[in-house]
Amino acid sequence: MPRKKLDQIREKVRLRQYDMSLHAMEEMAEDGLDILDVEHGVLSGRIARIEKDDPRGTKYVIEGTGNYHRL
């Protein structure tokens, strides 16, 4: 099941069919990341863990590398 879920998440990223919360954007900025880093991480990464205790629903934690090809 995790592989199928990762494929679904990646497809949403490829099609730009996702929303980024203000909190997530603030966290990215604090870490020196931008949206390309996050997208590349999702597209190149793997599901590191699944957290089911969040009242908003299941959380898939993806670990991957950022986008290092900036000009």
Q: Give the per-residue pLDDT at 67.
A: 78
pLDDT digits (tens, 9 = 90+) for 1-30: 678 999 999 999 999 999 999 999 999 999
The Cα-based distances of 3 to 31, 46, 51, 55, 65 in angstroms read 28, 9, 15, 23, 18
Q: Give the per-residue pLDDT at 69.
A: 59
pLDDT digits (tens, 9 = 90+) for 34-58: 999 999 999 999 999 999 999 999 9
Sign of CA dihedral 23, 32, 7, 45: negative
Q: Measure the CA–CA gap between 46 and 43, rounded to whole angstroms.
A: 9
pLDDT at residue 70 is higher than 80: no
pLDDT band for 66, please (50, 70, 90 cuts): confident
